[in-house]
Structure 1
Amino acid sequence: MADLPVRRGSGSSVGRWTRGLDPFERMKELMGFDPFEQVGRMVGGIEPSLSFIPAFEVKETKDAYVFKADVPGVKEGDLDITLTGDRLTISGKRETEKQEDTDRFYAYERSYGSFSRSFTLPEGVDANNINAELKDGVLHLRLPKQPEMQPKRIQVGTTDANKQGKVKA
């Protein structure tokens, strides 16, 4: 149990006795134990530093479906993109960097490992003209729509009284 401070006198000692009492940081520092890391292992069975889940942005334009994924540090050869029927799967990996025995980390927040994301696409994707590009750590994927699936503008005609109700195109 933690020692509780005894307040003496009329001055405020709150700032003095609360400083540096984060129990999780103290536990991590003194024992090399991170409770949040342990909970992650118990719940998900995954080491937090080994789970890499890139953020995706998916949008539809009038002529294509556009995917963007933040994959910093992923090499082009470590990406695999497949389209099977209406199922688009993007997978890859980001390798850990070599660590020396003499390295001492003060923060270790970057994640590494393999990932795989799948998306179900609507009908009408032109599978023969898909374009993928990796630039500045962002994967750009453009899946054009088939021409017959793209919207067509229909012009509205007016009725001319002299032509007895026929629509003018």
Structure 2
Amino acid sequence: MAIIRFTPFRSPFSDLSLLQNRLDSMFQDFEWSAEQNEALTTGNFVPPVDVYEDSQKVILKLEVPGIKQDDLDVRLEDQILTVKGDRKFEKEEKEENFHRIERRYGSFVRSFTVPQTVDTESVAADYNTGVLTITLNKKAEAKPKQVKIKVGSSSASEQAAKQVEAA
């Protein structure tokens, strides 16, 4: 059972005031740059991404069909990987000739926090058939190490016992 503190002269609005203060403190440090605000309001195309990891590397695969390689920007700064791009609407056909437009167009920005185990100096990006693959190699100290066990005729404790007997 929870213990509830009794406050005899509590205002009916004190709970609302407390909630307002908590929300204010939560969003106080949350600042957006103008570039991020623009991307959030204008971008309606968000490419799906697969992120997977093995013992050697972290790999991200973004589906960006119809986007030219020159229209993609991949940056890694302060452990934040940012991918920006722009899918442009082709104006070859007049819009009134279209019966339906379901593909999304516009700018996008995707950001990912990179783990400390990743070597930020060895990042590779490859673009093939509409899929952008970003490979982040792990640092050598982050890779798992396997210790080999030597199999011999006698163990170290047996050798020590033989040395004691000989003396």
* Corresponding residue for residue 122 of structure 1: 115
- Per the normalisation by structure 2, the TM-score is 0.62
Q: 1:82 aligns with which of 75, 81, 87?
A: 75
- CA offset at residue 164 of structure 1? 6.3
155-164 or 114-123, which deviates more: 155-164
- Per the normalisation by structure 1, the TM-score is 0.62
- Tell me the SS of whatever aligns to 2:109: strand
Q: 1:162 aligns with which of 153, 158, 162?
A: 158
Matched ranges for 1:67-146 at <5 A: 67-101=60-94, 103-146=96-139
Distance in 2, matches of 1:62 and 1:99, equals 47
Q: 2:51 aligns with which of 53, 58, 67?
A: 58
- CA offset at residue 78 of structure 1? 0.7
Superposition RMSD in Å = 2.5
Distance in 1, matches of 2:106 and 2:100, equals 18
Runs (5+) with no aligned partner, structure 2: 1-39, 162-167
- CA offset at residue 45 of structure 1? 6.4
- CA offset at residue 104 of structure 1? 2.1
Runs (5+) with no aligned partner, structure 1: 1-43
Aligned residue type for 2:105: Y
- Asked if residue 150 in structure 1 is aligned to residue 146 in structure 2, the reply is no
- Tell me the SS of whatever aligns to 2:118: coil
Distance in 1, matches of 2:84 and 2:57, equals 21
**1:82-130 CA distance string (max 9 Å, x none):** 1112111111111111054474222210110000011111112222221
Alignment CA distance shift 1:51-1:102 (3 Å)? closer
Larger relative contact order, structure 1 or 2 (CA cutoff 8 Å, min sep 6)? 2
Alignment CA distance shift 1:45-1:133 (3 Å)? closer
Distance in 2, matches of 1:100 and 1:136, equals 24
- Tell me the SS of whatever aligns to 1:77: helix
- Tell me the SS of whatever aligns to 1:148: helix
